[in-house]
Amino acid sequence: MNEEASLDRRITRTKVAIRAALVALIEEKGFEALSVSNITKRADINRGTFYLHYKDKFDLLEQTEADIIRDFEEIILRANALNFADFNSVDKPLPVVVVLFEYLKENAALMHAILGLKGGIAFQTRLRQTVEKNLKLGFLAGIKAENFLVKSEYLISYALSAHFGVIQTWLQKGCMESPHEMAIVLSKLSLYGPLRMTGYVLP
């Protein structure tokens, strides 16, 4: 059992080193320009060790992205248990939103590389689709379509684009604000809208 635990720890350390190398290289040169040799050299492992876990750099990226999507789905599941009564104060952000920003901050380098300008647009699209699907099946499922003031697809597209934009900007700035502060930012934008956030008072 101890040998198995030791092996598991070595595998975990190896995968962490490989992922860290991937993140650093995406930031430096972009995914398309990096190679398996670049990754193994940066991770200080041999190519054989790399191929024990991944077929190639694309498989590494795909598994990394799958882990992120799975983590996002688990977080969103908590949001699906909420109702509109929970959205009544911008000063008390939803715990699930704080958890989301905590996850983003803990994995800031990875998220910046994947969601940043040097990451692939395909993953950003898949992540958006995952969030949208889970919202439709959960949180938004109980809302009658006739109650929307605009078509639901436009509302969802606007909200997701805005939220992802805020997240990307926060990551690019180095996560200067705390997860709690960023949860309040999203709460204010969601409840009051961008126009009010300029200080303009609606007539």
Same domain, residue pair 17 and 78 = no
* CA 158 distance to own-chain centroid: 17
135, pLDDT greater than 70: no
Three-class secondary structure assignment of the chain: CHHHHHHHHHHHHHHHHHHHHHHHHHHHHCCCCCCHHHHHHHHCCCHHHHHHHCCCHHHHHHHHHHHHHHHHHHHHHHHCCCCHHHCCCCCCCCHHHHHHHHHHHHCHHHHHHHHCCCCCHHHHHHHHHHHHHHHHHCCCCCCCHHHCCCCHHHHHHHHHHHHHHHHHHHHHCCCCCCHHHHHHHHHHHHHHHHHHHCCCCCC
Same domain, residue pair 3 and 65 = no
Q: Please report, as a single letter, which amino acid is at residue 114.
A: I
pLDDT tens for 25-34 read 999 998 889 9
85, pLDDT greater than 60: no
Question: Where is mean pLDDT largest: 34-43, 142-151, 155-164?
Answer: 34-43
- Per-residue pLDDT band for 187 (boundaries 50, 70, 90) equals confident
pLDDT of residue 23: 94
State how many domains the chain has.
2
- Domain with residue 34: its CATH number is 1.10.10.60
pLDDT of residue 44: 95
Mean pLDDT of the chain: 84
94, pLDDT greater than 60: yes
The whole-number average pLDDT for the span 76-89 is: 62
Residue 202, domain member (yes or no): no
**Containing structural domain, residue 37:** 1-54
pLDDT tens for 50-82 read 999 999 999 999 999 999 999 988 887 776 555
